[in-house]
Amino acid sequence: MAAGCVIGVDLGGTKLLAGTVDSKLEVHHRAYRLARPDDTGELIDQLVETVQEAIEAAPGEVLTVGLGVPCLVDPHTGIALDSNHLPLRGVAVRDLLTERLGLPVVVDNDANAAMLVEWRCGEARGTQNAIMLTLGTGIGGGLIVEGRLVHGARGAAAELGHIIVDADGPPCPGSCPNHGCLEALVSGHAIGVEGLRVARAAPDSALGRALRSGRDVTGALVTELAHDGDPAACDVMTLMGRRLGLGVVTLVNIFNPEVVVVGGGAIAAGELLLAPAREVVASRALPINRKDVRRVPARFGAESGMLGAACMALDLAGVAIE
């Protein structure tokens, strides 16, 4: 690509993905890490190492780096103000990476990044009001209101995973002080927790047999067994979808969006999760709000965050998406 490439980075609660991306949003290389250090310095080192791998694989000059992080981020300074899952509190991520990499860096919340690419090029394209939910280790949110990405006063807007669905529900993981947040009830972590409960209660199910064989009952395993038709795993996904639907009902009643896009790793469940969510929205949202809203999986799937970060980097470099 004559104009050069950028690096888009999606830092999640349990994984790290950096992509070498051109102006057509084509990915030339993916650098992937599963480990997540609990120390801030080690986490920054891992970020730098992963980005450098992506830089070395670039087919041309690398212009800028975009980073999406599961944090409250000050959009003006690139400082990670707080994170529910990572050791990033008051950390000047943008400046640290700029110094270590020798390239301009832009940082934003990971779900904001995912919303950006789905709005520019994906399922929310052409809309003026849209919602993004990213289901992974936690649940992130992004908002387009009247054609603008919403950051709030300090970059802490659209923490949609922390709307309270059940005041007497389970404690929210990480540093969130609440109980019954959407994140506590529907995230990849929550799917695993419910899957483990069901596996113990139904030892003759595929979930129960997997537990007895020593396998970890994770959200990914529950999803896999549900796709294979295990009734117990399917029941877990139905419950998760209904809970997701309750959260979406609240959001569509507040924001009246044209589309709700659901992405993140947990969206691998597909219609097992989305179909029961749609049923709840169709029956419980205000009629005018549910009438035209679409509820769809992200066009870019689990890579929305990485490609959204690449969009941010392209904007910083002044390169238009083709």
62 C-beta neighbours (distance < 10 Å), count: 22
Q: Which residues contact 243 (CB under 8 A, 6 or more apart)?
A: 165, 182, 185, 186
Report how far residue 64's alpha carbon sits from residue 233's, in angstroms, rounded to the nearest whole number: 43
Annotated active-site residue 110? The verdict is yes
CA distances to 124, 201, 254, 268, 320 from 186, rounded to whole Å, are: 23, 20, 20, 14, 36
Please pick, among 74, 110, 204, 315, the residue that the annotation labels catalytic: 110
Buried b (16+ CB within 10 A) or exposed e, 34-59: eebeeebeebbebbeebbebbbebbe
Q: Are 149 and 129 in contact (CB under 8 A)?
A: no
Encoded tokens for 91: 């950390």
Q: How far is it, in rounded angstroms, from Cα 48 to Cα 9?
A: 10
Distance between CA 31 and CA 71 in Å, rounded?
A: 21
Q: Count other C-beta atoms under 10 Å from residue 308's C-beta.
A: 35
Beta strand extents in 167-276 (DSSP E only): 259-263
Find tokens 């994140």 and name the residue.
183
Residues recognised as catalytic: 110
